[in-house]
């Protein structure tokens, strides 16, 4: 029996083992031993992250349903690192309010992470759907984790209703795509896509699920309410880890599968990017609650991320991954500070931050650095991440779109500075008293601080990441399929570098037979 496929899924298997170990520990450990649950869980999770850092073969398994690439490995490590930071910020909160449910929190969070692992390594639509459902259902439980809080329960209900609707629409889109192409494999579908109305409708409906995960307008209505009602630590997880998986998967599927219909989906993304960045910025200015403020900020950031998807190039993929790394440190730092302030004053109003610098200077500095990075102010890493995204879009000729994004960056700077002004300038006769955070939160804050400051250095290795992205695209066969004679199947495909497609000569009847075989064969045609 060949176990090479399971060895390729090393990251997923190690995460499943961790989940089972923590589940058994929580169920059967004596009361005294359970007090050490969180330190043990974090330590074991660090080991699991170390496993994801080990070099692994870049290949596919199970007939192409599972695909492992260098970019997928990096993204999994980033998502795991972000989850660990959320765990560190959550320790004191769990001890104070949910001591009995500590195991449940870790089990649910790691289960969602497992689903996101499958999302970024999927090579088949059913594998992707399995991953997105495995991620969404436990997330709804996490949003409603504070069962005695009516706002948390309300947020959980809103999330599960919206997620269920998005999943249903996405699944319906998959069925239309299958009916129009005869396959659900990422590598086979581009051959059968001809741009028929049925296929375009299936593509749009399928994309709804990913747009929902990324909170892109007009699929954003749940975001602010859920972020505000959910526990702050869960909001941090939603805004970073979930968005990372959705962004990379969006790039992979749109470029690999739907690249042959780029003329159909690029105008849609063009409009969604403008709406997401602009409307989110306008609404962020009006917010009085820090969690709703960060929710609209995350919607705006998602618009910049999709700008890298629009580039549809190795530079765009590299920009998306680097952007998510920088965004992870900055956004988790902002939510972490919000969680600490909320624990002291009992609310999440922005007015609670007035005069914070006088009593808690280091906390204020971390929040300022996080907001400056999100705004893209040099020399913070957020500046470099936005630069690479804009550069990849400019290379593909999206000058007007980049100009609109730049103007919105200036607008975002205004509302980020509103928080900085509240902490450093706005007078407050009764500011939040000085307080000491727990050691685990301190570790997370230090990691975020150096991540915000030093991750800009990683930008000097951008060319290395660019090569890795190209290798990943070659492994996934992301290059557009060669266009065949129009008499064969009518497919005319844009070249990878955005140049005009050229019709490839070939026997028309042979091309027709090959297309028919790929569309009807019960086995994948992925090359071993």
Mean pLDDT (the chain, rounded)? 80
Phi-psi region of 66 (alpha: psi -120 to 50; beta: other; left: phi over 0): beta
Q: Cβ distance 185 to 526 under 8 Å?
A: yes
Q: Cβ distance 65 to 6 under 8 Å?
A: no
pLDDT band with cut points at 50, 70 and 90 for residue 368: very high
pLDDT in tens, 101-125: 788 888 999 999 999 999 888 888 8
Q: Cβ distance 146 to 101 under 8 Å?
A: no
- Alpha carbon 79 to chain centroid distance? 8
Cis peptide before 80 (omega within 30 of 0): no
- d(CA 89, CA 192) in angstroms, rounded, equals 48
pLDDT in tens, 48-62: 899 888 877 767 777
Give the SS3 label for residue 124: strand
What would the DSSP string read from start to end of 16-50?
Answer: HHHHHHHHHHHHHS-HHHHTTHHHHHHHHHHHHHH
Structure tokens at 278: 């602009």
CA distances to 40, 115, 159, 297, 300 from 219, rounded to whole Å, are: 39, 21, 12, 15, 13
Mean pLDDT on 245-263:
83
Give the SS3 label for residue 406: helix
Give the SS3 label for residue 263: helix
Residue 513, pLDDT above cutoff 70:
no
- d(CA 399, CA 264) in angstroms, rounded, equals 20
What pLDDT score was predicted for residue 64?
77
Q: Indicate the range of 27-36, 222-231, 302-311, 329-338 predicted with least confidence.
A: 27-36
Q: Cβ distance 22 to 107 under 8 Å?
A: yes
The helix or strand, by DSSP H or E, that contains position 415, with its residue range, turns out to be: helix 399-424
pLDDT band with cut points at 50, 70 and 90 for residue 100: low
pLDDT band with cut points at 50, 70 and 90 for residue 508: very low
290-311 helix and 314-345 helix, angle to the nearest 10 degrees: 170
Structure tokens at 438: 């727990």
pLDDT in tens, 380-435: 888 888 888 888 888 888 889 889 999 999 888 888 998 999 888 888 777 777 77
135: nearest Cα among 155, 153, 116: 116
Question: Could you count the other beta carbons within 10 Å of the beta carbon of residue 439?
Answer: 11
pLDDT band with cut points at 50, 70 and 90 for residue 195: confident
Please tell me the pTM assigned to this model. Answer: 0.82
Structure tokens at 131: 């991953």
Structure tokens at 473: 């695209």
- d(CA 355, CA 425) in angstroms, rounded, equals 7
43: nearest Cα among 103, 108, 109, 88: 88
Residue 505, pLDDT above cutoff 80:
no
């Amino acid at each position: 029996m060949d176990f090479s496929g399971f060895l390729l899924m090393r990251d997923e298997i190690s995460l499943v083992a961790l989940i089972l170990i923590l589940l058994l520990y929580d169920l059967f450990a004596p009361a005294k031993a359970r007090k050490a649950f969180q330190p043990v869980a974090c330590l074991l999770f660090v080991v699991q992250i170390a496993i994801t850092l080990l070099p692994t073969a870049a290949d596919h398994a199970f007939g192409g349903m599972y695909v492992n690439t260098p970019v997928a490995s990096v993204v999994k490590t980033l998502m795991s690192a972000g989850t660990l930071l959320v765990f560190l910020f959550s320790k004191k909160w769990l001890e104070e309010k949910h001591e009995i449910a500590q195991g449940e929190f870790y089990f649910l969070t790691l289960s969602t992470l497992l689903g996101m692992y499958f999302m970024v390594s999927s090579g088949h639509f059913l594998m992707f759907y399995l991953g997105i459902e495995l991620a969404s259902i436990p997330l709804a439980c996490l949003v409603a984790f504070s069962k005695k809080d009516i706002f948390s329960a309300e947020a959980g209900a809103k999330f599960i209703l919206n997620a269920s609707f998005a999943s249903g629409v996405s699944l319906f889109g998959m069925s239309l795509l299958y009916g129009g192409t005869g396959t659900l494999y990422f590598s086979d579908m581009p051959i059968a896509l001809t741009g028929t109305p049925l296929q375009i409708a299936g593509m749009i409906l399928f994309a709804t699920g990913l747009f929902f995960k990324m909170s892109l307008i007009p699929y954003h209505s749940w975001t602010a309410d859920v972020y505000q009602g959910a526990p702050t630590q869960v909001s941090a997880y939603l805004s970073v880890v979930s968005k990372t998986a959705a962004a990379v998967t969006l790039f992979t599927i749109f470029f690999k599968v739907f690249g042959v219909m780029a003329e159909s989906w690029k105008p849609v993304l063009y409009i969604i990017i403008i709406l997401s960045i602009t409307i989110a910025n306008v609404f962020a200015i009006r917010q009085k609650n820090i969690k709703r403020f960060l929710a609209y900020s995350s919607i705006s950031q998602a618009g910049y991320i999709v700008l890298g998807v629009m580039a549809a190039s190795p530079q765009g993929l590299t920009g998306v991954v680097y952007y998510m790394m920088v965004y992870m440190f900055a956004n988790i730092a902002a939510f972490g500070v919000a969680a600490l302030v909320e624990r002291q004053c009992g609310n999440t109003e922005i007015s609670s931050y007035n005069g914070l610098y006088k009593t808690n200077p280091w906390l204020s500095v971390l929040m300022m650095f996080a907001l400056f990075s999100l705004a893209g102010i040099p020399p913070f890493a957020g500046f470099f991440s936005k630069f690479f995204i804009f550069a990849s879009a400019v290379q593909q000729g999206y000058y007007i779109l980049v100009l609109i994004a730049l103007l919105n960056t200036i607008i975002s700077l205004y509302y980020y500075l509103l928080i900085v002004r509240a902490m450093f300038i706005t007078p407050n006769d009764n500011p939040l008293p000085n307080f000491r955070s727990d050691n685990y939160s301190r570790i997370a804050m230090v990691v975020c601080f150096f991540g915000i400051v030093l991750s800009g250095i990683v930008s000097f290795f951008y060319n290395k990441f660019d090569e890795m992205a190209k290798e990943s695209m070659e492994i996934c066969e992301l290059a557009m399929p060669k266009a065949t004679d129009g008499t064969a199947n009518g497919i005319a495909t844009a070249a990878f570098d955005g140049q005009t497609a050229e019709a490839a000569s070939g026997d028309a009847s042979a091309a027709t037979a090959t297309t028919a075989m790929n569309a009807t064969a019960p086995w994948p045609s992925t090359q071993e």
